């Protein structure tokens, strides 16, 4: 316990970085997920192919490999970003593929008749998607989206491998000084669990409030 109390500032900074990284990447991944899900159901075959390729590529590549390539390979061709920004971009792009599939599953729950009714009153594909299909589709998959956000939170720990001092890296730094891995990493694990519980509670509340009565 002394190992934790003596380094609360360092661990607290790591926790704040983890929260910031989670929030930024969740927003980016949601935006990408909506765009890719839209491509996946678009009436244009080329757009559907692009959306499918995006999902297949990023769901079948390890996140750690993508982080290492982005952070260490791109500078060799003159492209550099701050470490936090690099981690945020890679995690958002990676998790966007999973969110796209969840959102597409939600869109598939919307009755075909509603899309036909939207077209019947003169709405374009984009308008019907924005005003009729997406709102209902997103409400149908709030809990799966929450689960992906929890997975995203846990995946932020991989940013430590490329030098981002988030909670896992901060805990490792403390352990290198104090040599008390059980206390240090148990504390870090409890912090991750608390954040995951908060995400679960928020998504559960949203699911109950926005539930679709059929």
Residue 214 falls inside a structural domain: no
Angle at 86 between CA 102 and CA 171, to 5 degrees: 90
Domain that includes residue 129, residue range: 1-208
pLDDT of residue 98: 95
Looking at residue 78, its pLDDT comes to 84
Residue 93 inside a domain? The answer is yes
Is 156 within 8 Å of 21 (Cβ atoms)? yes
CATH of the domain at 68: 1.10.3720.10
Predicted confidence at residue 175, as pLDDT, reads: 86
213 located within any domain: no
Please check whether residue 95 lies inside any domain of the structure.
yes
Q: Give every CB contact of residue 114 below 8 A, 6+ residues apart in sequence.
A: 132, 133, 136
* C-beta neighbour count of 24 within 10 angstroms: 18
Domain total in the chain: 1
Closest CA to 87 of 97, 72, 102: 72
Write the DSSP assignment of 30-51 as a string of letters. Answer: HHHHHHHHHHHH-SSHHHHHHH
- Write down the pLDDT at residue 110: 78
For residue 139, tell me if it sits in a domain.
yes
Give the pLDDT score at 212: 59
pLDDT of residue 207: 81
81 is a domain residue: yes
Q: What is the pLDDT along the chain (214 residues), one digit of tens a residue?
A: 565 677 778 888 999 999 999 999 999 999 999 999 989 988 889 999 999 999 999 999 999 999 999 999 888 888 888 999 999 999 999 999 999 999 998 888 877 777 677 777 777 777 777 777 787 888 888 889 999 999 999 999 999 999 888 999 998 888 888 788 888 888 889 999 999 999 999 998 888 887 655 5
Please give the Cα distance from 83 to 94 (Å, whole number): 16
Collapsed DSSP state (helix, strand, coil) of residue 55:
helix
For residues 87 and 145, give the distance between their C-alpha atoms in angstroms, rounded to a whole number.
Answer: 21
- Please check whether residue 159 lies inside any domain of the structure: yes
């Amino acid at each position: 316990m002394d190992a934790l109390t003596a380094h609360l500032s360092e661990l607290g900074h790591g926790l704040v970085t983890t929260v910031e990284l989670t929030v930024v990447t969740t927003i980016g991944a949601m935006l990408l997920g909506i765009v890719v899900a839209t491509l996946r159901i678009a009436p244009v075959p080329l757009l559907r192919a692009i959306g499918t390729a995006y999902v297949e590529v990023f769901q079948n590549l390890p996140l750690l490999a993508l982080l290492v390539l982005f952070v260490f390979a791109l500078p060799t061709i003159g492209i550099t970003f701050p470490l936090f920004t690099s981690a945020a971009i890679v995690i958002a792009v990676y998790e966007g593929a999973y969110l796209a599939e969840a959102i597409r599953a939600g869109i598939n729950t919307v009755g075909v008749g509603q899309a036909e009714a939207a077209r019947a009153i003169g709405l374009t594909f984009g308008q019907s998607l924005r005003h009729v299909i997406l709102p209902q589709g997103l409400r149908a998959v709030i809990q799966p989206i929450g689960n992906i956000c929890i997975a995203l939170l846990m995946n932020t720990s991989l940013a430590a491998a490329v030098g981002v001092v988030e909670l896992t890296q901060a805990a490792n730094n403390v352990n290198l000084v104090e040599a008390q891995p059980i206390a240090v990493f148990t504390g870090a694990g409890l912090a991750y669990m608390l954040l995951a519980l908060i995400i679960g509670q928020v998504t559960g509340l949203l699911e109950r409030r926005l539930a679709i009565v059929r």
